Amino acid sequence: MSEVSQPNAPLVVCYGDLVTDLVMAVERLPIEPERVQRIHAISVEPGGAGNFLITAARLGARAVAFGAVGEDAYGQAVYDTLQAEGVDVSYAQRGTGSVNVLVLVIVDDAAQHVFLVRDGMGPPFALDARSVALIRSADLFFMPGYALHERRVAGSAVEATRLAAEAGVPVMNDLGPIVSETGAREAALEIVRLSEVSLLTADEAMRFTGERTQAGAARWMLAQGTRHVVIKRGGAGCIVFTMDGEYVVPGIPVPVRDTTAAGDAFAAGFAVAWLKHRDVRRAAEFANCVGAAKVQKLGSGRQCPTAAEVAAVCAGVTSYVS
């Protein structure tokens, strides 16, 4: 369950990507035809933005799911689980006969994973007066790149981001692998221009910008208008680039069980810590702790780290600035 209950907690609104993860743990990948494998475990969890929302709520934010959720069984599972975790789902639009995005996540004993996606269906997400009021009242607006691929919400993504920026609400994005899709580039670039913080892996940043180094890619994005670029490096930590310089934040050695949802948990940790301290280096350090706590657990959704698990990781780190 979420540990948030304070009415003065920061209001974090997350747009779209309210997918359902069907997580299966198997012995090995790849799956081979004509060969039987046992499934160690199986669970249905909120994936994508659900990981961000659950982690943010557990870390003390008032987290709002802002997008579309199917009325099928998989969509209902996401809706119910997020609500049970203390996430506000009252802004998640449904729609008669709508079907949720479904992601089959297969994870093996070597911590490798593969994603198989079924698109959702239903009426497009609509920005009504209540939705606009929510955006303008937020302390932070988070835009995951996968929302630009989700049919029901993609059409309003840039408009919603612009509404936040024009209202003085800090925007944070995590473009993800969507940067490789030509059809999403224009929208992604506009979101970067409107963002306070942009999160990407080095590979994503170089593909998005056409630069040959992560530093060159970060400088290119800073020139577009985003104020902070965070290059995620998995177990090696991250690098924060600003107009004033860069900060290398080392990773935290931990046993890795599953990297699924680690990026989403990292983003939530960064958002919560940045709102608290307004210091990108401290936010990155805390986000590393959140990511390190997540990779030690199998699965997504409810398997995202708790505040106590994050605190335990943070307590063992001596290399970060206090």
Encoding tokens for residue 281?
Answer: 């280096």
- The predicted pLDDT at position 184 comes to 87
Q: Where are the beta strands (DSSP E) in 194-311?
A: 197-201, 228-232, 237-242, 245-250
CA distances to 95, 96, 121 from 72, rounded to whole Å, are 10, 9, 10
255/137 Cα distance (integer angstroms): 40
Q: What is the pLDDT of residues 114-165, one digit of tens each?
A: 989 999 999 999 999 999 999 999 999 999 999 998 889 999 999 999 999 9
- The predicted pLDDT at position 162 comes to 97
Q: What is the pLDDT of residues 206-226, one digit of tens each?
A: 999 999 999 999 999 999 999
Alpha helices in the chain (DSSP H): 49-58, 73-84, 129-137, 151-154, 157-166, 185-194, 202-209, 214-224, 262-277, 280-295, 307-315
What ranges do the domains of the chain cover?
11-315
- Is the backbone peptide bond immediately before 30 cis, with ω within 30 degrees of 0? yes
What percent of the chain has a predicted confidence (pLDDT) above 70? Answer: 97
Q: What is the pLDDT of residues 4-53, one digit of tens each?
A: 446 689 999 999 989 999 989 899 999 888 888 899 989 999 999 999 99
> Which CATH number is associated with domain 11-315?
3.40.1190.20
Q: Where are the beta strands (DSSP E) in the chain?
A: 11-15, 20-26, 39-46, 62-68, 92-93, 102-107, 113-118, 140-144, 171-174, 197-201, 228-232, 237-242, 245-250
Backbone φ, ψ for residue 124 (5° rounding): -65, 150
Residue 2 pLDDT more than 50? no
Residue 245 pLDDT more than 80? yes
> Measured on CA atoms in the order 94, 98, 101, 106, is the torsion positive or negative?
positive
